[in-house]
A and B are shown apart, each in its own frame.
Chain A
Amino acid sequence: MSESVLVAIAALFTTSCLVRIAPTFISLRIDPGAQRYLERLLPAAVFINFAVYIAYSEMVREPVPALISLAVVGAVALLNLLGLIGTAVLGITLYFVWIGIIG
């Protein structure tokens, strides 16, 4: 292995230890109110940020197709209208059809 790749692997593995492994071994004594924050509100906040991050990342690349496709996917999921596979097919089709239309 080349040295630069070894350094890259070491950096990523160290990152994994810091941000994924270490937090699962941390002990905190917390009251029920704080527990509600950690178990329900913090994950919800993470998923809101996920959604915005995904939309932003894709809209930088293809603004209109990504906006339409991801808005439909998000609405379908929130309203529980379709399963994951059907929604994924719908979202991907919308995206590439709109790219074809816009050129």
Chain B
Amino acid sequence: MNDAQPAMDERAAPSDGNSRVAVLRRVAPAAIAVVPVSMLFGMLAVRSDWSLLEVVAISLLGFSGSGQFALLPLADAGAGFFTMLLVTASINSRYLPIAYTSAKRLPSAASRRACLAHMLGDEAYATEHERDNAVSVRWIRLSIFTAWVLAGLVGALLGQVIPAAWLGADVNLGYPASVVLMYLSASQLRARLWQQGQQKGPLLAAAGVSAGLALLFILWLGPVYFWIPSVLLATFILGRAWS
């Protein structure tokens, strides 16, 4: 546990927005948005001769959208463990700062803390608020995680009956998830940067410069390796603009 970030008591009284219904209502759009993406993974995995058990197992133990898709061809090609680890660790390296900064919202019991940390995803992180207690975080992460695993299974089942030609249709099934993540990211930026007493001009300029540099990092290092240097530089730039 982070000393500077004491864990919230899991039995803490629910505050506004922390009731179970309010939390489930808040997480529902994100949980629904991941369904088509996970279903597509299940369909493609079955097409690569993965069993239903294998699809469920990788969704449960791997729980990584981009990581799972990236490993499909690597597994088909018989790549080794360290090759796969290098690829997936690179893709998911963005979770290092995300996991650290959201750790204060997790329960203090080690097993529950580890389980909820494993269920951390982009959509969950963007849905959570700083004021969320451990119970709220549990419902948010569990909802999205469950939706992901079940949708993968449904996709695998559908993949066994849907003709292969249908899967080749050029429909971007992942777009709803991108829209939801964009909305949540922008909402989080508004909540975190536009505070009372802060001058919006310099922060907006810093955010714009950071976004431009992020694009340059993507073009330079690629969409897998840009995360860590780009996030660190953006943090530095925002810090300079923070009054």
Contacts and interface: CB of A to CB of B under 8 A. Distances in A.
Most buried by B among A69, A76, A91: A91
A35 B180 CA distance: 29
Interface stretch (B14-22, B158-166, B187-195): B187-195
B89 A48 contact: no
Contact of A1 (B1, B57, B93): B57
A26 interface: yes
Nearest to B49: A2
A46 B98 contact: yes
Interface in A7-35: 7-30, 35
Interface in B87-105: 87-89, 92-103
B168 to A, nearest CB: 15
Nearest to B216: A52
Contact of A15 (B5, B49, B67, B184): B67
A21 B117 CA distance: 5
Interface in B75-120: 75-76, 78-81, 84-85, 87-89, 92-103, 106, 110, 113-114, 117-118, 120
Contacts of B76: 4
Most buried by B among A39, A44, A54, A57: A44
Chain B interface helix/strand/loop/mixed: helix
B25 to A, nearest CB: 10
A102 B102 CA distance: 42
Interface in A34-48: 35-48
B89 to A, nearest CB: 5
Contacts of A44: 188-189, 192-193, 207, 234-235, 238
What class of interface size applies to chain A in its complex with B?
35 or more
Contacts of A50: 122, 126, 181-182, 185
B113 A8 contact: no
Contacts of A62: 172
A50 to B, nearest CB: 4
22 contacts: A1-B53, A11-B81, A12-B64, A12-B71, A23-B99, A25-B114, A42-B231, A43-B192, A46-B98, A47-B189, A48-B189, A48-B210, A50-B185, A55-B182, A57-B178, A58-B175, A74-B182, A77-B183, A78-B187, A84-B29, A84-B180, A88-B179
